[in-house]
Chains A and B, each alone.
Chain A
Amino acid sequence: MAKSKTLEVGALPYDEFDKSINKYNGDPTAIIAILQDIQDHLQYVPKDSISYLAEKLNVSPAKIYGIVTFYAQFRLEPLGKYIIMLCEGTACHVNGAKLIGNAISDELGVKGGETTEDGLFSLEKVACIGCCSLSPVMVINEETYAKLTPDSTRKIVKEYQKREAAAQN
């Protein structure tokens, strides 16, 4: 798996973790919500945060790890700057999501679950984001792109690349 290089993570924001733990009064059954807070903040759940939470909430790290791996939402690796969420729900599948996925993979050289070498793009495949009647659909960060064709998809991805290249110069 291609790993992100640009996203160096320094010391973890333990104060943020504490804030979230306090929000739920240190309740260990709120673990899913606490993990969600962490992921909202960092875009992933660092391994070290698990042992920290385990100690604070007085549960075993294995238990938290079990939860992180059970729920598809949680990621243990940092992601790229742009997260491409490609819908592979039924409606999108019927309307050619596979071809859209191929086009993205071809443009970026990554498969689902991978991040580009430059740390810019992560491709995530998800099941239905609720815009089925505009399928096939993808979301890049907060922006939704609907009624995609392989061509329009390539164009959109290239737009982002261009924007990034321009920002670098």
Chain B
Amino acid sequence: MHEQGKTVIKVGYSTCGIAAGGSKVLETLTKEISKDNLQVVLQKTGCIGMCYVEPIVDVITPAGELFSYGMVTEEGALRIIEEHIKQGKPPEDMLINKEREEVVGQQVRISLRNCGIIDPESLSDYRESGGYKAFEKAILAMTPEQVIDEVLRSGLRGRGGAGFPTGMKWRFTRQYQNDQKYIVCNADEGDPGAFMDRSIIEGDPHAVVEGMMLAAYAIGASEGYVYVRAEYPLAIVRLEKAIHDAKEAGLMGENILGSGFNFKLKIKKGAGAFVCGEETALIASLEGERGMPRLKPPFPAEAGLWKKPTCINNVETLSNVPWILFNGAEKYAAYGTEKSKGTKVFALAGKMKRGGLIEVPMGISLKEIIFGVGGGIRDDKKFKGVQLGGPSGGCIPESLLDTPVDYDSVARTGAIMGSGGMIVMDETTCMVDMARFFSNFVQNESCGKCVHCRLGTKRMLEILNRITEGKAEHEELELLEEIAYNVKEGALCGLGQTAPNPVLTTLKYFRDEYLAHIEDRRCPAKACVELLTYTIDPEVCNGCRRCAKRCPTEAITGEKKEPHVIDQEKCIKCGNCFDSCRFEAVLVE
């Protein structure tokens, strides 16, 4: 809420902001403001996406000028109060305005339009930014068909991974006549390395609620469920508040605004199963069953939750909908490529300089994202690959960095667009280890219903383990490839069908790394611990004993001021000695 004539202080208060120390900053600010009874408004806000400089504190003057501070500590918070608020001299060294302009300025924020700007716990903030206007217009002045038509024309495709046209899905669900239909929001966000949906719910929960109500109106549903990962407690709290406030304000319930449209919304917490992100497994879980995928057809649009017509949409998909109806389909479709319209949110993580959440028009290249918005690789290391689409996706090498991010171009590389997780890897990441990591993940998460997925992923993992331990032979590489194709073809659901993608893409683009592990028993990235040997160069070691003190197994011996040696029998390859030596005397091979 903007009170006239007052300075507003906003603290980035999403999971990442809190993890980085945001709660202590908020506490300090609260204390200082009340101590001196300062005339400022203090509020929480969501994620602006620059997670790498959280906690972020924004000071907005009554004239609307923004001062953005990054990596704010408790002392920093004191300085903001002391120097900026009291003395009117913003502490320049803490300002991140320029960087913010660089990072946020390169983006087009539609789904993230309110994240990091409004107070996610305030309905009036959301309404001031135009919230619920699209919903009001829709239920009072548009037919459901008109709503569907608008979404169809926008070209919006499902952001949960498969990219199915949203308007089409709504039309299918609408055409099945039934006394009861459901809209379900998929907030299971299973890709372990992605946090788009969490940030959207934490930063702008009403946008998701409004999107769901628009979808419900369009398909003719009067009940909805949000299926949220249990690991996202803050998102659940904010959603609960949003639902509560919308009800209080008469925007949800019976005969909303006299339109005759009824809607109620419930939250269901997931219980930690990746496969429940798959829509039929999600339905099984909502029904209180083990979350195992079901055979399609029938598709959920015909017989979903409790066998009633059900439309399942992803968080990001839904958060775009109010914007589209408010601003018009054409405006949305003006962004993106011919077949992939609009914008896409990506979670940048890994070896990125600027890890965080970004939203860009479809069709810009991977290079522009990673080296432009993302600022390139940390510590000026060399880029090696980028993993798109998590465990269902693939690794894309440097030679394909010009690939535009749209559904079809990304699919052509063997990866998938997925939900938007983007993990950047540098020369110190071993691609075989990455394939092993994802295989381990899918093997754990396979629901066990089909043999190919259950056993195939296990066999693949075993082979990958042997390769990373330097125990595998050549034939096993062919076997690995063969099993991968078998799993792809034999699995029932998307989990199994896509599980081999990380293996297949790394085999395609980084085969030499596999060969180095097999033929030379060597890990080029020096990441596979079993293949490393730590030694001390007697020419360089001056016997400072620093490493010996840090070695957990007392593997390092030697007299003070004399070269030290490592007992290979005792060494557990923890790397402490390598990190601690100041003279680069510890060698790793």
Interface residues of A (CB under 8 A from B): 28-33, 35-36, 66-67, 70-74, 88-91, 93-95, 98-99, 102, 106, 126-135, 137, 144-146, 150
Contacts and interface: CB of A to CB of B under 8 A. Distances in A.
* Chain B interface residue number, banded: 35 or more
Nearest to B425: A94
A130 B272 contact: no
Contacts of A29: 287-288
Given A33-B269, A130-B195, A132-B355, A102 B349 contact: no
A72 B271 contact: yes
Given A33-B268, A71-B272, A89 B193 contact: yes
Is chain A's interface secondary structure helix, strand, loop, or mixed overall?
helix
Interface stretch (B11-19, B82-90, B124-132, B364-372): B11-19
A73 B230 contact: yes
B432 interface: no
A88 B438 CA distance: 11
Contacts, number: 133
B15 A95 contact: no
Contacts of A126: 231
Q: What are the nearest 3 A-B pairs in CB distance?
A: A133-B355, A90-B193, A71-B271
**Max chain A Cβ within 10 angstroms of own Cβ: one of B19, B195, B441:** B19
A90 B20 contact: no
Contacts of A91: 193, 349-350, 355, 423
Contacts of A132: 51, 193-195, 347, 349, 355
Interface in B421-473: 421, 423, 425, 429, 434, 437-438, 441, 447
B461 to A, nearest CB: 15
A102 B574 contact: yes
B348 interface: yes
Contacts of A129: 15, 231
Contacts of B189: 130
B19 A89 contact: no
B350 A73 contact: no
B390 A90 contact: yes
B409 to A, nearest CB: 22
Nearest to A126: B231
A150 B576 contact: yes
Given A33-B269, A90-B193, A90-B437, A67 B289 contact: yes
A29 B20 CA distance: 39
A99 B575 contact: yes
